[in-house]
Amino acid sequence: MAGNMIVGQQPDAVEVGARIYMAGGNAVDAAIATGFAQGVLDQMMCGIGGYGVMQVYAPARGAHESITFLAQAPGAVREGMWEDLLEYETRDGFGFVLKGKINEVGHKSVAVPGSVRGFHYAHQKFGRLPWKDVLAPAIRMATDGYRVQNFEFTYRMADDSLGRMPTNEKLRFTPDCARLFYEADGAQRRPGSLVKNPDLAKTLAEIAANGPDAFYKGRIAEAISADFRKNDGFLGAADLANYRIEVEQPVWGEYRGHRIAVTPPPNSGAIVLRMLHTLEQFDLKALGHNSPDYIRVLAEAMKRAQALKDEVITDPRLAPTRLDDIIGRTAAKADADAIKRGDRAHVQRAVAKEAADTTHLTALDRDGMAVALTHTNGMQSGVVTPGLGFMYNGQLGSYDPRPGRTQSLAPHKRRVSSMTPTIVFRGDKPHLILGAPGGSNIPMAIAQVIVNVIDHGMSVVEAVSAQRVSATSDVIDVGARIPTYTCEALAQMGYKTARSSQSFTVARVHAIMIDGDKVTGGADPAGGGMALVV
């Protein structure tokens, strides 16, 4: 390769990855350092209180792994314990609104974090630089301070249109959380404001010195469990000490002669493959990019994939998923035939009424090592333990409070994740490395960017910038760059659309394209990120 590349949403974090390359690090070193930095800069999206999944392709070592470090429910939860509090399910199927918002904010919303274990495993297996050097930039950032970014501020100020608690209310839940987002007089920290977080710097320094056991078994774990006991939360010392990641082989599919590697369940890579295997049976280019007929075909493939995700995929440790039922060619052909007949799929929701968010980075080094890393807090819990400096995930808000379902709340269970870091191979070499934040819209966005490149011949920048659509329910979500006359044509076909006022919608894809010796990167314009090559 001509150079090393890193692509991500937060420019200052992307620069951390570039500097790691300059210091002699490889793609995993750069990805992990960037991930830790993202957790300092953007605690609403991710951090050491969160979780994620990554795909690492290391041809020089003959390795290709999916590393899953999802959050899991603490052992103290009970299936059905919140069933009588259910008000409705959010439209995208990612969350459930309960009376009193008990699952959305506070200590009862927190699941067991996985990011520190996942990052450490990947670094120890594939990294080149010392562990402490990989954490050093994030520690300096927390100590010296970082500037509030415009996207982070805008996200914080937005209301959740699906009825969840507004983000700003969550961020005031604990004093230590509020100090990260508000001035001493209670005013919002605005873009450009300098924020220092010495508590997080100290926490990261302990992890740098002592590895993940500092977080899961040491002083940090003791502080976490004491805080949750005091505040009647579910997370306990045993949950942290017993947490384990999953290391597996990727799941493979094909699209128009390209091989597609995705991460296995309970991640949503199989859903991407189902959509691609269905869409392969249509001449998408002839339909015209984002024409009414094109959007109809996309939406019907998406709805069928979403319904499968809701009904079939669960934690494989508890109930194995039959992958062929999802990605098999026979099932995909049946979907395509139904779409060609004009059949409309239905996505079932509990009452009808994703504001959750995440972050992603993509890295490639000159030796051909490729990393696609997506990590998240799921939703914001608003909880920061005094003295530790990081916010926990709010993942319990995404579990189904009704018992006996694939996503039901249960002890030690991992809920299905929409995250799907993906690598597209042309022949035996990577052609496209990509992933995205964006809740249930992630698989829909990944599939469209792949189609944009392969079917429409777009560059990587064009592919991530083109207007996308999403159908995670019976409503088709579109952005402001989809004309109203297109929505009117869809209405005449019997489809309801929800047109956003924003120009860039449906997740935020960050991708790297390799074409021979040429390497280009595309950062989704919606997130204000960037691509750097060094």
> What span, in angstroms and rounded, lies between the C-alpha atoms of 382 and 235?
15
Cα–chain center distance at 510: 12
CA distances from 124 to 28, 51, 350 (A): 10, 18, 43
Which residues share a beta bridge with 205? none
- Give the HSE-up count for residue 27: Cα atoms under 13 Å, Cβ half-sphere: 29
- Orientation of helix 219-230 relative to helix 198-210, angle to 10°: 130
3-state secondary structure of 132: helix
| Residue-wise burial string across 283-294, b where 16 or more C-beta atoms lie within 10 A, e elsewhere | ebeebebbebeb
At which residue do the structure tokens 């390209």 appear?
258
- Orientation of helix 292-311 relative to helix 484-492, angle to 10°: 70
Q: How is residue 455 written in tokens? A: 């079917």
Active-site residue (options: 167, 203, 358, 486): 358
Cis peptide before 266 (omega within 30 of 0): yes
3-state class percentages of the chain: helix first, strand second, coil last, to nearest 5: 40, 20, 40
Q: How is residue 71 written in tokens? A: 């959050």
Q: What is the largest CA-CA distance in the chain?
A: 62
> Which residues lie below 8 Å from residue 349, measured CB to CB, with a gap of 6+?
88, 89, 91, 93, 473
> What span, in angstroms and rounded, lies between the C-alpha atoms of 45 and 123?
22
Element spanning 167, H or E: helix 167-171
Q: Write the DSSP string, 457-487.
A: ---HHHHHHS--EE-SSSEEEE-TTS-HHHH
> What span, in angstroms and rounded, lies between the C-alpha atoms of 284 and 457?
12
- Tell me the helices (H) and strands (E) count for the chain, helix number first: 19, 22
Mark whether 358 is an active-site residue. yes
Active-site residues: which are they? 358
